[in-house]
Amino acid sequence: MNCQDSDTGWLLRVRNLTKIYGEPIATSVQYTGPRFNSNICPETDAIVACAEINFDLYPGEVLGIVGESGSGKSTLIQLLYFDQVATAGEVYLSALDEAQTNLLTLSNQRKRHARNTLMGMVYQNPRDGLNFGFSAGGNIAEKLLMAGSFHVGRIRERAAYLLGKTEVPVARMDHTPSTFSGGMQQRVQISKAIANNPPLLFLDEVTSGLDVSVQARVLDLIRQLQRELGVSMIVVSHDLAVIRMLTDRTMVMKNGRIVESGLTDQILQDPQHAYTQLLVSSLL
């Protein structure tokens, strides 16, 4: 697939993205997936966490990925954020080398730079996204430093601004996240993720560990920031209520594959795949 084959205007283009944990063989992809109701290669026990993943994401668009636990949602965004190394595939960002370079082939140094300047990630578990040995401000400063900001005063000012923006009391800037509530920890992660104004954000089950009332407030904040910043987002959740609230378009995953995709409203109103119908019926 040449990245310039078809329509333009996209921010992120993903082609044939695949991740296999363990020993793959030539038929691992062929003999796994929804048809077999399994992501485990019958010959080698390798796990085909995701395969044959194709989609484009447009500027300002919010794309949801929904599916049951183990369907490959986290792996998919971890591949894009370079937390995991892909087994195969092509990924292009319009903001990098004018979309001429497959991101998966970048040197580690260039991957780090791309991840720090063009992307942000908010993890389900705040300990995956924050260093609990640093203060809240220190965690944000880390992301700013990685993108080349070195002026201490300006870094502190920006960290305070971001904490305010995500409704974390600025007076808590020098406290460590371990002294924060779960909702506040997620807000600090969001501050860090948007610190360098990246065009692309990944959110992985960011409200799953929170009380329902806190969940609603964090979801509101995400929606508000998305509108204000115009950032593109990929929102991973097993919860269709979260997907309904945040996303424009949705991909449904099962056994490491996309089984259905379309406008979120359409998927909720008229799900085509039996598995999606089951998910939607559980929402009612």
Of positions 67, 120, 126, 129, contacts ligand ADP by CB under 6 A: 67
Q: Are 242 and 219 in contact (CB under 8 A)?
A: yes
Residue 24 half-sphere exposure toward CB, CA atoms < 13 A? 20
CB of 7 to Mg ion, least distance (A): 30
Interactions with Mg ion, residue window 248-277 (CB under 5 A): none
Regarding 262 and contact with ligand ADP (CB under 6 A), the answer is no
Regarding 74 and contact with ligand ADP (CB under 6 A), the answer is yes
C-alpha angle 138/140/143, rounded to 5°?
Answer: 110
Q: Residue type at 134? A: F
Please state, in angstroms and rounded to a whole number, the distance separating the CA atoms of residues 180 and 163.
13
Of positions 18, 75, 135, 189, contacts ligand ADP by CB under 6 A: 75
Give me the residues paired with residue 90 across strands.
15
Stretch that binds ligand ADP, among 6-14, 69-77, 110-118, 132-140 (CB under 6 A): 69-77
Of positions 69, 107, 269, 281, contacts ligand ADP by CB under 6 A: 69
Stretch that binds Mg ion, among 31-39, 51-59, 68-76, 174-182 (CB under 5 A): 68-76
Regarding 39 and contact with ligand ADP (CB under 6 A), the answer is yes
Regarding 28 and contact with ligand ADP (CB under 6 A), the answer is no
Give the residue carrying structure tokens 């460590």.
176
70 binds, among Mg ion, ligand ADP, none (CB under 5 to 8 A by kind): ligand ADP
Q: How many residues does the chain have?
A: 284
Please state, in angstroms and rounded to a whole number, the distance separating the CA atoms of residues 112 and 82.
8
Of positions 18, 32, 39, 74, contacts Mg ion by CB under 5 A: 74
**Judged by CB, which is closer to Mg ion: 38, or 208?**
208
CB of 242 to ligand ADP, least distance (A): 14
**Judged by CB, which is closer to ligand ADP: 59, or 70?**
70
Could you tell me the two tokens for 78? 């971890």
Could you tell me the two tokens for 209? 């560990």
Stretch that binds Mg ion, among 59-67, 70-78, 156-164, 180-188 (CB under 5 A): 70-78
Q: Give 240: exposed, middle or buried? Use CB within 10 Å, 0-12, 13-18, 19+.
A: buried
Could you tell me the two tokens for 79? 């591949």
In the DSSP assignment, the letter for residue 99 is: G
Regarding 87 and contact with ligand ADP (CB under 6 A), the answer is no
Q: Are 130 and 139 in contact (CB under 8 A)?
A: yes
CB of 33 to ligand ADP, least distance (A): 12
Please state, in angstroms and rounded to a whole number, the distance separating the CA atoms of residues 261 and 228.
26
E strand spans, 47-176: 47-57, 62-66, 88-93, 119-122
CB of 108 to ligand ADP, least distance (A): 19
**Judged by CB, which is closer to ligand ADP: 47, or 173?**
47
117 binds, among ligand ADP, Mg ion, none (CB under 5 to 8 A by kind): none
Chain positions contacting ligand ADP, by CB under 6 A: 21, 39, 47, 49, 67, 69-75
Which residues are at the interface with Mg ion (CB under 5 A)? 74
